[in-house]
Amino acid sequence: MTRAGKEPAEDVKRAFRRAIEVAGLETSQVRMFKSSGADARVVLGAASPADWPHEPPAIEMYVLVGFDGSIGEVDIRCAATDGDPMMEVFTAPNLQKCRCDLADLAVTLKEVWVARREVIGRVAAGEKPPIFDGKWNWTPASHLMP
């Protein structure tokens, strides 16, 4: 098994943990696996607030770390719901196309968490998705299906 890209990916795992902590969330998991098809290692992270009652995490992120050590943009996923994200996967507004550089991850996670609360409030007030929060679109998966 090749170790190509392993050390940079371990650095990314540590950066994920730090960013999650700085954003005021708790790490649910951070792991990596090798993707030969992408010539990269995929680093996955998941986090939730301390009082999160559900097994699925509240927010997830991933990035490709090339075997050459290159680090792509971090892709962040989050559903605007206080319910179980798995049970509301098709109905809750989901964050669309949220990407950032690894160096900006902590700030972006904080911004996403604030935007998530705002979107939850707007839905509760009767606004119908998709919702634009000023920076990102939040759309239920059911709206993206053909």
Q: pLDDT at residue 2 above 60?
A: no
pTM for this prediction: 0.91
Sheet containing 59-66: give its strands across.
Answer: 26-35, 40-48, 59-66, 74-78, 98-100
Q: What is the mean pLDDT of residues 42-52?
A: 97
Tell me how far CA of residue 23 lies from CA of 79, 107, 133, in angstroms.
Answer: 17, 7, 19
What 3-state class would DSSP assign to 69? Answer: coil
Do the beta carbons of residue 98 and residue 105 sit within 8 Å?
Answer: no
Answer whether 65's CB lies under 8 Å from 80's CB: no
Cα atoms in the 13 Å half-sphere on the side-chain side of 123:
22
The crossing angle, in degrees rounded to 10, of helices 6-22 and 105-124 is: 50
pLDDT digits (tens, 9 = 90+) for 12-34: 999 999 999 999 999 999 999 99
By residue count, the chain amounts to 146
Is residue 89 pLDDT above 70, yes or no? yes
Give the tens place of pLDDT for each residue, 94-137. 999 999 999 999 999 999 999 999 999 999 999 999 999 999 99
pLDDT of residue 5: 59
Residue 37: half-sphere exposure toward Cβ, Cα within 13 Å:
0
Angle at 118 between CA 112 and CA 119, to 5 degrees: 85
Whole-angstrom distance, CA of residue 44 vs CA of residue 20:
12
